[in-house]
Amino acid sequence: MTITCDIAVIGGGNAALCAAITAAEKGAKVVILETAPKAYRGGNSRHTRNFRCMHAGPLDPLVDDYSEEEYFEDLLKVTAGKTDEKLARLAIRTSEECLPWMQEHGVRFQPSLSGTLSLARTNAFFMGGGKSLVNAYYRTAEKLGVTAFYEANVIHLELDGDAVRHIDYTHEGEAKRLAPKAVIVASGGFQADIDWLTRAWGPAAQNFLIRGTPYNRGVVLADLLEQDVQSVGDPTQCHAVAIDGRAPKYDGGIVTRLDCVPFSIVVNKDAERFYDEGEDVWPKRYAIWGRLVANQPDQVGYVIIDAKSLNLFMPSVFPPIKADTLEELADKMGLPAEKLRNTVESFNAACGDTSDFHPTELDGVATSGLTPPKTNWARPITEPPFYGYSLRTGVTFTYLGLKVDESAQCSTANGPIRNLWAAGETMAGSILGQGYLAGFGMAIGTVFGRIAGREAANYAN
């Protein structure tokens, strides 16, 4: 079967769908090429929960206001200045009109989830999460005449001078070629290609877990970089957090998150502590622990808590390992028992007055004379039963991406590529050079997906 179309959108997540819908509304004939089977369509977007949105006054479901300046400052804090200000401000400013657009196209919001009240002002939560958003967008796109092909894996874009001539892809195993007038790349990062990660990061990456889809393998990204399309972002870096070590290799998603580190001690496989577990509140330290664990032998950490701390954090998907003595716990977790006891005892001995303990604030309840110290929430680990979790590095996304301008257009050193646009994770490095701000990934994808869809449709029409 040969398919004809004006615009081919590569990818089937949030950015791809926003682009396809926008282009179809402008009258273009659009196809979506999604490499995943239907059951797994939607890339990392299916794992998301919220959208960070600027707003001048209450904007259902968001309360109060969240100004461009405040949003931008929040972004600067996490990226340490590695931000393209022009594109970042464009994303921030446009996010406000996106929210009603999302609602008009089937997305439904809910009040912020229990346990995330601190985000009620800044982040709008999708009812049912990202998969319901993706479902709604596919329904809307279908109604607009967009055709979605699943198991359609794009392997090559033929770049000839300043234009893409055709796309090579396989569909349900068969080789296919398509020559659309315009192409939008929205196929995410490369974090699911462990070999690439290993080349970039080093052998430790073999032991990383991938929090999202196994289908974002960077095939299109690599193909375009090979043809000297301009890139942006540190090619060796990825965003990683510490997650439950028992999580599946791919697609474990949100439920593998562990929030217990601040109330614990964390040791490596030699039962030695290696970092201040109480440095800051967990949402602010979530990401650095991904790196810390990545630097330990075998890229694994072990969280140890006792009975009094068990109910202080959000439950996670796997129950903790439980034991009546530290020796038994060490045994069950494969740690040297004698060593663990010593580590816990010297930690306990370094704990002081715990009467100011306060689980949700920096309480200053610290150890003294211990290296590394624990500077908050330091309570001795004494009350059986004892509980343990293993920790591994969970990769969220990679930073390397396609460089785009304000109209989401890609370019080579010789100037813009006439008929190629990019949106979402695959160009997020243009804005986010380092760190991550909750809800910003979906904001980038929605804003630039819509821009790319509009520009591509204007070109194709």
Partner 1 sequence: MQIDLLQEARRQAEICNACRYCEGYCSVFPALHEERMFTDGNLTQLANLCHNCRGCYYACQYTAPHEFDLNLPKALAEVRQDSWETFAWPGPLAHWFQKSGVLIAVATIVGFALLFLAFRALGSSGGEGFYAVLSHSAMVTIFLPAFLFPLFSIGISLRRYWRATDGKSVKMSDIFDAFVSAARMKNLAGGHGDGCNFEDEDRFSQARRLAHQAVMYGFLLCFASTSVGTLMHYLLDMPAPYPLWSLPKLLGIPGGILMVLGTVKLAYLKLNADKDLGAPSAWGGEMAFILLLFLVALSGLLLYGLGNTAAMPTMLAIHLGSVLSFFPLTPYTKMAHGFYRLAALVRDAQRKSKA
Ligand X SMILES: Cc1cc2nc3c(=O)[nH]c(=O)nc-3n(C[C@H](O)[C@H](O)[C@H](O)COP(=O)(O)OP(=O)(O)OC[C@H]3O[C@@H](n4cnc5c(N)ncnc54)[C@H](O)[C@@H]3O)c2cc1C
Site residues, ligand X (CB under 6 A): 10-16, 33-36, 42-45, 47-51, 153-154, 186-188, 211-213, 215-216, 219-220, 253-254, 396, 424-426, 439-442, 445
As a whole number of angstroms, the distance between CA 35 and CA 246 comes to 27
From the CB of 131, what's the least distance to partner 1, in Å?
5
Nearer to partner 1, 125 or 399 (CB): 125
Token pair, residue 427, equals 């160009």
State the sign of the Cα–Cα–Cα–Cα dihedral 268, 312, 263, 440: positive
43 binds, among ligand X, partner 1, none (CB under 5 to 8 A by kind): ligand X
36 vs 159 by CB, closer to partner 1: 36
Q: How far is 207 from 300, CA to CA, in rounded Å? A: 9
What is the per-residue binding string for partner 1 in 391-430, x denoting contact by CB under 8 A?
----------------------------------------
Site string for partner 1, 74-113 (x = CB under 8 A): ----------------------------------x-xx-x
Q: Which amino acid makes up residue 375? A: T
**Whose Cβ is closer to ligand X: residue 288's or residue 337's?**
288
439 binds, among partner 1, ligand X, none (CB under 5 to 8 A by kind): ligand X
Instruction: Please tell me the total number of residues recorded for the chain in this structure.
Output: 461
Nearer to partner 1, 144 or 254 (CB): 254
Residues whose CB falls within 8 Å of the CB of residue 44, separated by 6 or more in sequence, listed in order = 13, 188, 212, 213, 216, 396, 397, 425, 441
In the complex, least distance from residue 234 CB atom to partner 1, rounded to whole angstroms: 29
**All residues at 6 or more sequence positions from 82 whose CB lies less than 8 Å from its CB, including other chains:** 432, 433, 434, 435
Q: How far is the CB of 267 from partner 1 (least distance, A)?
A: 24
Interacting residue with partner 1 among 4, 311, 355, 371 (CB under 8 A): 311
Site for partner 1 in 12-41 (CB under 8 A): 39-40
If one asks whether residue 222 binds partner 1 (CB under 8 A), the answer comes out as no
Closer residue to partner 1, CB minimum distance, 203 or 319: 319
Helix (H, G, I), strand (E, B), or coil: what is residue 401?
strand
Identify residues 242-271 at the interface with partner 1 (CB under 8 A).
248, 251, 253-255, 257
Return the residue matching tokens 């607009």: 144
Enter the tokens of residue 225: 């970089």
- 240 by DSSP, 3-state: which? strand
100: which residues sit within 8 A by CB, 6+ positions away?
none
State the Cα–Cα distance between residues 422 and 128, nearest whole angstrom.
27
**What is the smallest separation between the CB atom of 296 and ligand X, expressed in angstroms?**
22
Which residue number, 110 or 382, has a Cβ lying nearer to partner 1?
A: 110
CA pseudo-torsion sign 31, 35, 39, 42: negative
Shortest Å distance, C-beta 211 to ligand X:
4
Residue among 39 and 413 whose Cβ is closer to partner 1: 39
Nearer to ligand X, 229 or 305 (CB): 229
Taken in order 439, 440, 444, 447, the sign of the CA dihedral is: positive
Among 80, 117, 314, 349, binds partner 1 (CB under 8 A): 314
What is the secondary structure of 13-26 as a DSSP string?
A: SHHHHHHHHHHHHT
Strand-strand pairing, 30-33 and 7-10: parallel
Measured from the CB atom, the residue of 13 and 433 that comes closer to ligand X is: 13
**431's tokens:** 């804005």
126 binds, among ligand X, partner 1, none (CB under 5 to 8 A by kind): partner 1
Task: Give, as ranges, the residues between 122 and 151 that touch partner 1 (CB under 8 A).
Answer: 125-132, 135, 139
460 binds, among ligand X, partner 1, none (CB under 5 to 8 A by kind): none
Q: Identify which of 155, 205, 145 has the alpha carbon closest to the alpha carbon of residue 178.
A: 155
Q: How far is the CB of 429 from ligand X (least distance, A)?
A: 12
The nearest distance, CB 459 to partner 1, in angstroms, is 33
Sheet strands (E) in 341-440: 386-398, 401-402, 409-412, 415-422
What whole-number distance in Å separates Cα of residue 138 and Cα of residue 143? Answer: 9
249 binds, options ligand X, partner 1, none, Cβ within 5 to 8 A by partner type: none
**CA pseudo-torsion sign 349, 352, 357, 363:** negative
Scanning 26-175, the segments in alpha helix (DSSP H) are 68-79, 85-104, 130-143
Q: Using the 8-state DSSP alphabet, how is residue 94 labeled?
A: H
Residues near partner 1 (CB under 8 A) are 39-40, 46-47, 49, 108, 110-111, 113-115, 125-132, 135, 139, 248, 251, 253-255, 257, 311, 314-317, 319
